[in-house]
Amino acid sequence: MSEFPILVVDDEEEFVSTLVQRLRKRGFAGEGVLSGSAAIARVAASDFAVILLDMRLPDMDGGQVLREIKKIRPGSRVVILTGHASASEGEEGIKNGAFDYLLKPVEFETLLEKLEAARERVP
Amino acid sequence: MKMYTATIPGSALKVRSRESYYARQKQLFVVVVILVAIIPLLFISWTASHFYQKSWLNKTTVELTSLADSRREIIDLFLDSQENILAGYAELYDLDWLSTPGNLEKLFKAMNRQGVIVDLGLIARDGSHCNYVGPFAEDLKDKNYAEARWFAEVMQSGRYISDVFTGYRGVPHFIVAVTDPSRSWALRSTINSELFNALLASAEVGPGGDAFILNHQGELQTPSRLGLTALPSVEKGLLATGGDLTIHHSQGALYATTGMKNNAWTLVLKTDIKTSLADFYRARQRDHLIIACAALLILGVATFLVRSMMNKVEDADQQRMVLYDRIRNSEKMALVGRMAANVAHEINNPLQIIGDQAGWLDELLDEEDPANLKNSEEYRTAFAKIKAQVKRASTITHRLLGFSRSTEGLKAPANINTLVEETVSFLEKEAANHRIAIRRNLDPALPAITTDSAQLQQVFLNILNNALDAIGNDGAVTISTSRGNGQLAVEFADNGPGLSEEGLKKVFEPFFTTKKAGSGTGIGLAISYSIVERLGGDIEVRNGRQGGCIFRVNLPITAQ
């Protein structure tokens, strides 16, 4: 598996740790953070191919984090992943530069399909 | 037929109490308007009537007074003239001349050209008849008046006019008597009663009126027009003889009394108030009729106006209540929406973790040696079941999000008939499997409306799905579209068992379901309700006359 770093941003520690483990098992360079500020810091420090972003974070609004990420790395692909998501929230995210959105709970296979789609779009 | 668009506990009770409130208000207003309009009318009528009655009575009194005065004068003059003529003869002639046969006849003829007197008699000091001219010669020839009251009176005072008496001749009459200057003999004439009575009879006292003369004892001196032979005691007491002209008012009659013949007699004129005020009473009756008509008109107009006014108020109140109910329902649904979204979010995260953990375990299982795993298949089945249940739960949470979904910016012109056809196409196969026919009765002239087609389709799907579930097997659902009152209606009528009273009330409440546990969440219709409401319409439910349930979705034709 080539380098395909993925950043998982979610305040649910259980979710982040399991997902990162499963991604690594599939060969992705998975990494997780639990807050918006940590996500922005990580994106600034390192270029991730895909960022899985929860819209509800303890310190910042997901939309705000999305805008900051797109400012720092306009080429990054952000997939919104939220439990609150109504379609409109996801669509709002796409308008703000998100690659796509997924509604929790999402099956791992669906998530992988979305990541593959993002990888194919790598410029 | 019962129909529910929204449910408010105790609303039926409120409607009843409101109805009685409006009925009370109507009655109150009608009474007030009538009192305000009719009381002044009655007051004016009463005052006018009273005033006119009084003036009529005054007029009658004045007329009666003047009549009594003139009659008294005429009669007094008549009696005086008779007395004076007789006195003149008594001075002019002596007893011898008058006693000479033939002379008294000459005098009688000279005096009586108008037939005023009936007879003429000459009576000597001892009371014996010296001479007599008249029809009672035979009866009176040998009579002596020495004991007669009139004779004593005339001999004492020189002149005398008697009351009416019967005397020797047996006929009621009255006399005028005078003596010669030395009071040694008397000349007496009997007044023609008919002529005398005629003096009174000509007095116009109207029908029911009377005119007569009374003596000191209250005895009639002239016949009563009403045929009275004696005066009723009431009148006798009232009409004290003599005195100046007086007006009495008693027992519906007006009396004018005045003393005459030096207060020896009393002239009485009586007029019946009722008859003399007949014209006034007729006018008053006409006035009363007009006032009654006016009062009836006021009553009718007041009732009509108050009714129509109160009906408008009632309508406005009802519209306000409906609006209020809708607002309350909207608020309730908005709250449910917010709550549902939060619950969905809170549940989605643990669901994600449960699913992930199961998936992770499943993957890890691949690395285990199947030989060392006794229950490998059981584990796989369990993980599959967990995944399936997570999926099931997530279906519910995603549907819950339908409550809070916004419709902003998603509206576009849509043909409702096409939308119905599309919806039917999704479920037609399933319906056919259960031998359920889906019939369409669509109005081809239905206009396109601006709405959220996707959400509306969700509503139609929910309703149609419920109808299919309610029928079970073998049946039919009829979908009709129509328009009217600026609205467009889509009706889904099934021939299932229908809903209970309780069901009709609660069908749109979240988590209400008639389906068996596990097969329905009870949020489909609640979401449908909130969607249609957001689209500016409403949903009604009722049981059909031939059974089954009818859901009706009303949508505004103009965009909301």
User: In this predicted model, what pLDDT tens digit does every residue of A85-115 receive, in sequence order?
Assistant: 456 677 778 888 888 888 888 889 999 998 8
Query: What is the per-residue pLDDT for B203?
Result: 81
Residue pLDDT, tens place only, B341-397 = 778 878 888 999 999 999 999 888 888 888 888 888 889 999 999 999 998 888 778
Q: How far apart, in whole angstroms, are the C-alpha atoms of residue B370 and residue A50?
A: 36
Contact A28/A72 with Cβ under 8 angstroms? no
Residue B460 has pLDDT above 80, yes or no: yes
Q: How far apart, in whole angstroms, are the C-alpha atoms of residue B79 and residue B191?
A: 9
Query: Which has more pLDDT, B496 or B168?
Result: B496
CB atoms within 10 A of CB B292: 11
Residues of B with CB under 8 A from a CB of A: 341, 344-349, 351-357, 359-360, 363, 387, 390-391, 393-394, 398, 401, 404-406
Q: Which of B43-57, B213-227, B315-329 has the highest mean pLDDT?
A: B43-57
CA B361 from chain centre, in angstroms, equals 89
**3-class SS at B532?**
helix
**Closest CB from A12, A86, A108 relative to B353:** A12
Q: What are phi and psi of B483, to 5 degrees?
A: -135, 155
* Pick from A9-18, B99-108, B133-142: least confident: B133-142
Which residues are CB-neighbours of B237 under 8 A, at least 6 positions away? Answer: none
Long-range contacts of B198-206 (CB under 8 A, 24+ apart): B199/B71, B199/B74, B199/B75, B199/B78, B200/B71, B200/B75, B200/B267, B201/B225, B203/B67, B203/B71, B203/B269, B204/B67, B205/B64, B205/B67, B205/B269, B205/B270, B205/B271, B206/B271, B206/B272, B206/B275, B206/B276
Q: Which amino acid is at B153?
A: E
Tell me the CATH number for domain B405-556: 3.30.565.10
In order of their start, the domains of chain A are 5-120 (3.40.50.2300)
Mean pLDDT, chain B, rounded, equals 84
Which residues are CB-neighbours of A113 under 8 A, at least 6 positions away? Answer: none
Q: Tell me the pLDDT band of B560, cut-offs 50, 70 and 90.
A: very low
Tell me the CATH number for domain B196-277: 3.30.450.20
Distance separating the N- and C-terminal Cα atoms of chain B: 30
Percent of chain A exceeding pLDDT 90 equals 40
The structural domains of chain B, with segments of one domain joined by +, span 196-277, 405-556
Residue pLDDT, tens place only, B69-82 = 999 999 999 999 99
A24 touches chain B (CB under 8 A): no
Which residues are CB-neighbours of B510 under 8 A, at least 6 positions away? Answer: B336, B340, B403, B522, B523, B526
Q: Tell me the pLDDT band of B516, cut-offs 50, 70 and 90.
A: low
**A107 to chain B: which residues are within 8 Å by CB?**
355, 359, 387, 391
CA distance B379 to chain A (A): 18
**Closest CB from A21, A56, A105 relative to B360:** A21
Residue B527 has pLDDT above 90, yes or no: no
**A103 to chain B: which residues are within 8 Å by CB?**
348, 394, 398
Exposed e or buried b per residue across B107-121, where buried means at least 16 C-beta atoms within 10 angstroms of its C-beta: bbeebbeeebbbbbb
Structure pTM?
0.47
Helix, strand, coil percent content, chain A, rounded in steps of 5: 45, 20, 35
Mean pLDDT of B168-180: 86
Residue pLDDT, tens place only, B389-447 = 998 888 778 777 665 655 444 677 889 999 899 888 888 888 999 999 999 999 998 99
Residue pLDDT, tens place only, A57-95 = 889 888 899 999 999 998 889 998 877 645 667 777 888
Query: What is the per-residue pLDDT for B554?
Result: 93
Query: What is the per-residue pLDDT for B559?
Result: 54
